[in-house]
């Protein structure tokens, strides 16, 4: 609801946020472990460090390309949010 507003707004509290789907829980867990592991370019972040994703997945005993790709998608979303703020 808040994301679709013009201008876009952040939810005011945690109870306004949507619970994740069960098939996304692993990707969210990995993303929140390593969301600050960014590859930086001259104008800001350009990607997540793929080795950091692998290391976090290994540490959490999560396997599969699906989770890795979901984390990459979350990373691109995160980078887009960072870029909007600048």
pLDDT at residue number 10: 66
Who wins on pLDDT, 8 or 44?
A: 44
- By three-state DSSP, how is residue 40 classified? strand
pLDDT digits (tens, 9 = 90+) for 37-86: 999 999 889 999 999 999 999 999 999 899 999 999 999 988 988 887 66
Are the C-beta atoms of residues 71 and 32 closer than 8 Å to each other? no
Q: Residue 15 has what pLDDT?
A: 56
Q: Between 2 and 29, where is the model more confident? A: 29
pLDDT at 17 over 90: no
Q: What local confidence, expressed as pLDDT, does residue 78 receive?
A: 87
Q: What is d(CA 40, CA 78) in angstroms, rounded to the nearest whole number? A: 13
Question: CA neighbours within 13 Å on the CB side: how many for 55?
Answer: 9
């Amino acid at each position: 609801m808040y994301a679709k507003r013009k201008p876009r707004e952040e939810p005011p509290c945690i109870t306004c946020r949507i619970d994740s789907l069960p098939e996304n829980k692993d990707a969210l867990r990995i993303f929140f472990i390593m969301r600050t592991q960014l590859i930086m370019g001259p104008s800001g972040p350009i990607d997540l460090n793929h080795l950091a994703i692998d290391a976090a997945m290994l540490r959490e005993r999560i396997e599969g390309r699906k989770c890795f790709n979901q984390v990459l998608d979350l990373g691109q979303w995160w980078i887009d949010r960072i870029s909007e703020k600048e």
